[in-house]
Amino acid sequence: MSIKKIMAPTMPEAFQKVKDEVGEDAVILSSRVVWTKGVLGFFKKKQFEVVAALDNQHDLGKKQALPNFHEEQSTPGIIEKIQESQVLSELAELKKLVAKESPPSPSYLTSYPEPVQQTVKMLLEQEVDHSHAMKIGDQLLARWRQSKEEPTIKDMVEEAKSILSSQLNRIGFTKDDHKKFIALVGPTGVGKTTTLAKMAAHAALEQEKKVAFITLDTYRIAAIEQLKTYAGLLNVPVKVAYEAEDFVEAAKGFSDYDHIFIDTAGRNYRDKDFVNELNQMLKLEEELDIYLVLSVTMKERDLAPILDNFQQLQVSRLIFSKVDETNVFGSMLNIMWDYQLAAAYVTTGQEVPDDIVQADPPLFINYLLGDGKE
């Protein structure tokens, strides 16, 4: 790990020096304001000190040059270039190619008739929580008893879909009705910046909205550059907010825009002080939707503390990312039911702006009891 201390008269200049001297994959370890010594104690100068580090194992020699964003591009050209530009895209996790072995049937399943057993087993194989699966099983049993003819497994699967649809609709799925400010929060590595770009691209290219970006993620140089890449390809402005004052100024500067998409840092999500600071900054805007981005590839027991810590942010809805990297989808249902929080989107790949789907009950029902495809 290579560590370097950078000094500059402004924070943006300090970050630029980090980028130039350390590299785009540099991690900011700390930053602070320092005062240089003056003459006889007078004429002190304010400086910004940034300590940055770079993992020596990173192969920076293979980085490609950034595209020229000053050239005018047509809409098809924008989309094509977004798809081809992988310069600063987030590293995709390895796909889970080994399917999980089916767990042994719990003993309580034997109390159900065979068609109900098989239907509940399908939910358990998707890692739907046992308590949720049992509730569905009990409702299926009641409907099986009321049936005049012997129901088949196919009949019970259709009944289960109906039960799931009723439960999910109670959570409150709504159509794409973004407020003026849209912020994405969540842990690192879930694809917040890419997802934000997809949402902004749809708003700008399909809905012809006037959009802009603000990034609060000043932790990684690459994160800022990645957002600037997308902003350049979409021909929309982006501003970096290092402090609350910067955020307020940026928001005022975009007052005549339809939507302002806000990117946030993913680090320290377990640190309540960090989440509280983020909350205080986002509270500066009342007309705000906050989306919590969660990767379906994460272990469900790791998702609970994330959800708990982000509760104070008054999350509007969820976004499930990396759905294409797993064959098990029960965690999405468990989270929505346990927290009574609906999902707005699921993302199905790295392509911008294509790999994003608006969420609704039929989508999740198909993941659980269909063929897993849209």
Q: Does some domain include residue 64?
A: no
Q: How many domains does the chain have?
A: 3
More confident residue, 116 or 45: 116
- Greater confidence (295 vs 80) lies with 295
The pLDDT tens digits for 144-198 are 988 888 889 999 999 999 999 999 999 878 766 778 999 999 888 888 999 999 9
Q: In terms of pLDDT, which residue wins out, 105 or 319?
A: 319
- Cβ contact 130:106 at 8 Å: yes
Mean pLDDT of the chain: 79
Q: How much is the pTM?
A: 0.72
Of 155, 171, 187, the residue at which a domain comes to its end is 171
Let me know the angle formed at the C-alpha of 205 by 230 and 193, rounded to the nearest 5 degrees: 30
161/143 Cα distance (integer angstroms): 13
Domain extent at residue 33: 2-55
Q: Please tell me the least confidently modeled range out of 128-142, 152-166, 220-234, 327-341.
A: 220-234
Q: Is there a single domain that holds both residue 29 and residue 112?
A: no
Residues 150 and 194 in one domain: no
Structure tokens at 43: 């004429």
Classify residue 69: in a domain, yes or no.
Answer: no
Per-residue pLDDT tens over the stretch 202-241: 999 989 999 999 998 877 777 788 888 889 989 999 999 8
- 143 and 11 in a common domain: no
Lowest mean pLDDT among 50-54, 81-85, 183-187, 270-274: 81-85
Same domain, residue pair 209 and 290 = yes
Strand positions, DSSP E, the chain: 2-8, 27-36, 45-54, 181-185, 211-215, 238-240, 259-263, 288-295, 317-321, 343-347, 356-358
Q: H helices then E strands: how many in the chain?
A: 12, 11
Write down which residue in 125, 141, 171 finishes a domain: 171
Say whether both 149 and 268 belong to one domain: no
